[in-house]
Amino acid sequence: MPRHKLLLASPVQPIGGCSPNVYGWDKRPAHVRIAMSFLSHPGLAFLGANLPCDVLEYPDACAFAESLRDPPEVLGISFYINETSIALRMMDDARRAGVKEVWAGNYGAYTPEVAARFDRTFTGWGERQLASAIGAELPVSGLVHPEMYGAIGTNVFPRMMLSGLLFTSRGCPWTCSFCQTPQFYGKPQEISLEAIDRVLWTYKSRGVRGINILDENFGTFRGHADEVVDLLHRYRFRWIALTRVDTLLKSFDRWASKGLFGAHLGVESLNQSSLSGAGKRIQQNDSVKLLHSMSRHHMFVQAFYILGFEQDTTSSIRADVDMLATLDVDLVQVQVLTPYPQTRERETIARQFGIHDQELTHYNSRHLVWNHPNISLTEMRELQRYANTKLASSRRALRTLAKFAVFGGQPQVSTRGLSLVAATVGGKASALHRRYSASLASARSWSRVGWYSYEEGASAASAAEFALRPQ
Ligand code: B12
Ligand code: SF4
């Protein structure tokens, strides 16, 4: 019997029910645009599937207030660093409502100054730590992989496609200087094939046809990844994976023959000196080569692209963006290099250039918070706009729709695409659409307004409420 009545929640959202569509961020969206939201919160879903606790995913203010009417003994909040002020406000509300302890987890809990404000913090994988904190046992049969969904769609079609989310490994063995992940999670580990098989079977039985693998780097454990790929192929899924350019290049032919439909790729930069400086150890040529191969197969590509490495200048960034715009990439998530706490990047930047902005709400990869040697704040904003206008056009969105509906991720025009879309938006998946109808409606609302990150939204008034210590 657990010792505590525990509620786990993610931060209060202006639109509840799903994660924000962080891809439409500039409020001047193109006529045709692609939108993606998560209907499940992976961190909380894993904890909820393996431990006795209640879970509140993506609440709006009303849902959160309602959850405190009969207050739990402990509230655990899962938040990212830029959501810190929301988490602190939730903590205050919870205490006023009679909650005895407030705990924090996820990357938000990794900021030392923030951790001190909570009764308890958890960094890294939570299941084992939380089990011991509440005196509960984890399932004897091993970690349960929960059923979780994401939605992708467009503003020009009323239905969104559902995909099953899959994690096959945890952690990352690489050590890119700007990234918190390796330190935060520690040694990478596999998720058992049994757990993966069980959840894939569930997705299949619900009529899901597409799988979205969101490991930090799918393929880290090559043998294990190959076995997962065989399973995906056996279930006849089309799948997309979050991975690195070098990892995908090594396995491209094999994975392409077994249902690979696209990738979320950390391209980070097309500027070789920036890549080397960040310890990224990928080659610019490799990124371009891989993107060409994926284009030949009409595969979906989401690229993470970082602006503002120390070597970058306004003209080098413009040249990079122009080059990126010639490549067949569907969604580019343009991020401004941010010195997140406890990274090598933060130490170096603080020492060499100084960090002028300690306001955590701005640590969302969209603000230049440090003194860049070559680029001013105004220039960076302008470059972000330039990148967004060039990379998020209606034309590009139409090309993406064709990849899904006309090619289905195949080199030639294929009826598989339409059948995939038809099956995923309705057909056997209809029951799933009904189950998630409220979250899907929220996802469509997000696609209309575009992401307003917290500093722009209702929480802006309290943006200065909490900040890092000046460096
Ligand atoms: C899915 C995802 C998203 C989703 C939503 C995720 C969500 N939580 O709802 C979306 C697309 C919305 C998103 C957005 C962003 N993301 Co993101 N995202 C990811 C991704 C791909 C997977 C995260 C995940 O689900 N992991 C799996 C789950 C099981 O692990 P987990 O969340 O860590 O949860 C475990 C533990 O942390 C712990 N735990 C978590 N919460 C709690 C709470 C308690 C009380 C306890 C005890 C334990 C506990 O237990 C869980 C189970 O073990 C990671 C990259 C990666 N592969 O890790 C990036 C990543 C987390 N994102 C990142 C970034 C930068 C962003 C953005 C800022 C990017 C942007 N500019 O748009 C935005 C911020 C959005 C916002 N909310 O403000 C960064 C780091 C963030 C940071 N350092 O704070 C990452 C690591 C990518 C990277 N390498 O740069 N993201
Ligand atoms: S950026 Fe990606 S590859 Fe590099 S350390 Fe972070 S998770 Fe690993």
CA distance 55 to 221: 31
List CB contacts of 433: < 8 A, sequence separation 6 or more. 159, 162, 425, 426, 440
Per-residue pLDDT tens over the stretch 127-166? 999 999 999 999 999 999 999 999 998 888 888 999 999 9
Going from the Cα of 80 to the center of ligand 1, the distance in angstroms, rounded, reads 7
pLDDT of the residue at 262: 96
Confidence (pLDDT) at 1: 43
Ligand 1 close to Cβ of residue 179 (< 6 A):
yes
Cβ of 106 below 6 Å from ligand 2? no
- Ligand 2 pocket, 219 CB below 6 A? no
From the CB of 225, is ligand 2 less than 6 Å away?
Answer: no
CATH number of 6-32+39-142+451-460: 3.40.50
* Any ligand 2 atom below 6 A from CB of 298: no
Atom 6 (ligand 2) nearest CA: 179
Cα–Cα distance between 9 and 30 in angstroms, integer?
A: 33
Walk along the chain (471 residues) and give the pLDDT tens digit of each residue: 455 589 999 999 989 999 998 876 665 667 888 889 999 999 999 999 999 999 999 999 999 999 999 999 999 999 999 999 999 999 999 999 999 999 999 999 999 989 999 999 999 999 999 999 999 999 999 999 999 999 998 888 888 999 999 999 999 988 888 889 999 999 999 999 999 999 999 999 999 999 999 999 999 999 999 999 999 999 999 999 999 999 999 999 999 999 999 999 987 766 666 656 665 556 678 888 999 999 999 999 999 888 999 999 999 999 999 988 999 999 888 899 999 999 999 999 999 999 999 999 999 998 999 999 999 999 999 999 899 888 888 888 899 988 888 777 777 777 666 666 666 666 788 999 999 999 999 999 888 877 766 566 544 334 334 444 443
For the Cβ of 345 lying below 6 angstroms from any atom of ligand 2, the answer is: no
DSSP 329-349: -SEEEEEE----TTSHHHHHH
How is residue 110 annotated by DSSP?
Answer: G
Range 162-417 classified under CATH 3.40.50.2000: no
174 lines ligand 2 (CB under 6 A): yes
Segments making up each domain of the chain, as ranges: 6-32+39-142+451-460, 162-417
What is the CA(421)–ligand 1 centre distance, in A?
28
The answer to whether 45 and 55 have CB atoms below 8 angstroms apart is yes
Residue 336, CA distances (Å) to 375, 384, 385 in order: 12, 8, 12
Q: Would you say 44 and 57 are in contact if contact means Cβ atoms under 8 Å apart?
A: yes
- What's the confidence (pLDDT) of residue 406? 76
For ligand 1, atom 19: residue with the closest CA = 214
Would the CB of 269 count as within 6 Å of ligand 2?
Answer: no
CA distance 35 to 157: 11
Q: Which atom of ligand 1 is nearest to the CA of 79?
A: 41
Residue 355, SS3 per DSSP = strand
For ligand 1, whether the C-beta of 122 sits within 6 Å is: yes
The closest residue, in CA terms, to atom 40 on ligand 1 is 106
Q: Which of 78, 121, 331 to mutate to test the pocket of ligand 1 (most atoms within 8 A of CB)?
A: 78
Q: Cβ neighbours of residue 329 under 8 Å, at least 6 residues apart?
A: 291, 301, 302, 303, 391, 396
**Candidates 176, 178, 287: which one to mutate for ligand 2, based on the most atoms within 8 Å of Cβ?**
176
Q: Is the CB of 340 under 6 A from ligand 2?
A: no
Q: CATH topology of 6-32+39-142+451-460 equal to that of 162-417?
A: no
